[in-house]
Structure 1
């Protein structure tokens, strides 16, 4: 994306940008799978209450601030104190903020932009001109809300950073900041370790006994809803409705928790009653209001399917915490032992005439070897008669279930 300081829509882009020309850009999306980094010259600098956009002239208010009087108040504050150039987005955290808090945030962002401009002039391209706050301080800046009472951290240096940051940029925010110093790991003490393990599981159980299954593919994410152990106390339609309503809330939570983005297809349990489909849709729509990422949803079809999109700016948690399985190469399955046996038989037939010895030594995975000695023993003997060679089977630890080696002896 190229902003107006570099690009006039009425001019051909090749007349404005040339090889070797230096421009200031910002990473807008991190690499995702095979897709590279996305960059833009529309610079945005986030603060606690505002986002500064030096290349545009616009004042907007977060859609999450729904009170019209508050939206008007905040917009008027920003318009009254903003400089003649540059634009601002009023963030959700600004709701209820006083004008001096917003002014301080604006002044900080303007100083930051001036510093970036100075650094840009003194650095050769390519160079890192500015890097955002550390992850810990970004959480403090972007996620803290009135619903948070206490911040607990087990690092003395990060504790000091948080205290200094809040004193400097959020002096009126009163949160209890605690340095955790107990022997028990902080993730164990607060049950975080268990939750992290759950993040990598496909199946998520619902309190009612139903469950959802999350499958992530290259093109989209599919989420299936099932009643599981839940049979209900009334009729089947009520059981399905209750499970779907609970699933709608859990799905919205899991999308945020796992940072799942892109195209999402939800397969709710089929509902015959139009009113039930509308209730589930409303429950899902209400649940995604808590999401900071831009999300859109379609109405539930007669088949119980919902199409969703959620803005994706970085890898999901599963890809950040894990890597493709080297055993199945990310497919989620491998050939069965029986299939491997018959792959082996066909390969022996192909190569038997090329092997000069009287016998063929076959090295296979120990579990495949056990199957060849037992259930498939008759098939091995039949093949020996066909190729007129002895087949010697040896289990070899370390071989992949699908792997085998053959040598003449």
Structure 2
């Protein structure tokens, strides 16, 4: 399976699109300077204790207080709290956490009022980004993720990913990591570590420990609330989690981000940095690689997937509902049961893709086409588990009920990706009425004249819908050629498939839009 990563960097946001076999499977957008990403570590202050919830609200600088439950504090919370007190003191100079004596683990059945009080400073990590009206969800079980392992300060436990194929490899990695890890650190070995040499693991372990030890200096002068360790940017974090040798290309339209990704790829797999390419085309990068079209086709309420079959996707605050419809397949040959099985199996592929693409979390209920044979329902269940195996997000799939309903729970750590595909007409502004089409060409003519005569622009680029572009450029006596001969200045007409039918925009010689 080939994978391509397309990254669109603009001043306001960064857009990341992952394609597998040229099909869009993941799409994320992040505002520039966005805060409170999963993995960020903050020095927070306890704002309010909620004994009835056995939880506390923590001020980490977000507009709404973050939520910390007692069960998310971790068994080593007392040791972490002791570390915070020692490091925050200006008199102490801690160079390694191995010098800090561990306190006993907190009681699993305990109450939060026994450990926290209002105004207390706590070291916390974002477990869930702010979603809807809720603030961030926090944990005090601090972890720092790398490509091959996850570092957990104040824990001594070493565990290995269950996805690693053989017990021999699991045992090799466990013994290897136990031999190189420092005291007072726990390690979770990730799937990407399979087959790696001790030098690769030791290099990353040292880097993760160094990253954690930056807190020694930051906490000494930090005041709550403040960011202590920020997660790496979304593009590099995504690469850290999904990169594999099958990647064909990573294409980005920004030189600085391109350099960062090239350095990262070179650090984890020297010799593969050539797959990182800088896009220099004039067309928008997402349009050039067909991402824009796939977005329009994949994020609507109705999603077609095979031979006329389609999904209807509905969202509520608590859960998501996906209805599978056979469409015109009902008119085809074969009996109803075999047709239903074929459509349902194909629907599994598209549902798995939609869950990753929209990053849907919580409870998902799928209403498959009715099947009366139990073995067919089992086939659909087994196929869904197979196609969901590539989903990195934690999930749980329940077998189909006799009514052919399937329930899936999928971890939600950031807001769902929602893109409105229905467009408000820029020409009529939703009124349903537009100017007479016979006057449209005259309107363009008047604006071209104004730009060249009054604004004295030297060159002009006009972006329009492909149908309008064809009309303006067809033949030797086309409108475009008439403008060039009339004003003796260059005019370029460029089609843009994302524009509405009568939408148009003018750009000058510096490719800056001319607002009229």
The answer to whether structure 1 residue 183 and structure 2 residue 282 are counterparts is yes
Q: Equivalent residue for 2:399?
A: 299
- Per the normalisation by structure 1, the TM-score is 0.75
Q: Equivalent residue for 2:237?
A: 138
After superposition, the C-alpha distances for 1:34-70 in whole angstroms (9 at most, x for unaligned) are 2221111111111111111113222122232233222
Q: Equivalent residue for 2:377?
A: 277
Larger Rg: 1
Structure 1 runs of 4+ aligned residues shifted over 6 Å read none
Structure 1 gap ranges (5+): 327-409
Which of 137, 141, 145 matches 1:38?
137
After superposition, the C-alpha distances for 1:324-383 in whole angstroms (9 at most, x for unaligned) are x99xxxxxxxxxxxxxxxxxxxxxxxxxxxxxxxxxxxxxxxxxxxxxxxxxxxxxxxxx
Q: Equivalent residue for 2:292?
A: 193
Q: Give secondary structure in 1 for the equivalent of 2:409.
A: strand
> Which structure's relative contact order is higher, taking Cα pairs within 8 Å and 6+ residues apart?
2
Change (3 A) 1:69 1:20: same
Q: Equivalent residue for 1:242?
A: 342
After superposition, the C-alpha distances for 1:9-55 in whole angstroms (9 at most, x for unaligned) are 17654343222221211111011112221111111111111111113
Which of 144, 160, 165 matches 2:259?
160
- Judging by fraction of residues, say which structure has more helix: 1
After superposition, the C-alpha distances for 1:190-211 in whole angstroms (9 at most, x for unaligned) are 1111122234301111222211
CA contact (8 A) 1:202 1:214 kept: yes
Separation of aligned partners in 1, 2:170 and 2:297: 39
CA contact (8 A) 1:29 1:38 kept: yes
Cα root mean square deviation, aligned: 2.2
CA contact (8 A) 2:125 2:140 kept: yes
CA contact (8 A) 1:3 1:55 kept: no
Q: Equivalent residue for 2:319?
A: 220
Q: Equivalent residue for 2:214?
A: 115
Pairwise CA distance, 1:169: 4.6
The answer to whether structure 1 residue 49 and structure 2 residue 49 are counterparts is no
Which of 135, 159, 176 matches 1:77?
176
Q: Equivalent residue for 1:400?
A: none
Which of 140, 143, 151 matches 2:250?
151
Separation of aligned partners in 2, 1:233 and 1:59: 56
Pairwise CA distance, 1:78: 1.3
Which of 74, 80, 84 matches 1:3?
74
Structure 2 gap ranges (5+): 1-71, 79-105, 425-516
Change (3 A) 1:262 1:12: closer
Separation of aligned partners in 2, 1:270 and 1:121: 63
| 1:250-329 alignment runs, 5 A limit | 250-318=350-418, 321=419
Pairwise CA distance, 1:299: 0.9
Separation of aligned partners in 2, 1:159 and 1:141: 15
Q: Give secondary structure in 1 for the equivalent of 2:226.
A: coil
Separation of aligned partners in 2, 1:118 and 1:254: 44
CA contact (8 A) 1:27 1:40 kept: yes
Separation of aligned partners in 2, 1:209 and 1:192: 22
Separation of aligned partners in 2, 1:135 and 1:12: 36
Separation of aligned partners in 2, 1:227 and 1:313: 33
CA contact (8 A) 2:262 2:273 kept: no
CA contact (8 A) 1:297 1:307 kept: yes
The answer to whether structure 1 residue 19 and structure 2 residue 118 are counterparts is yes
Separation of aligned partners in 2, 1:14 and 1:227: 56
Separation of aligned partners in 2, 1:279 and 1:27: 39
CA contact (8 A) 2:377 2:400 kept: yes
Separation of aligned partners in 2, 1:224 and 1:176: 39
- Per the normalisation by structure 2, the TM-score is 0.60
Q: Give secondary structure in 2 for the equivalent of 1:206.
A: strand
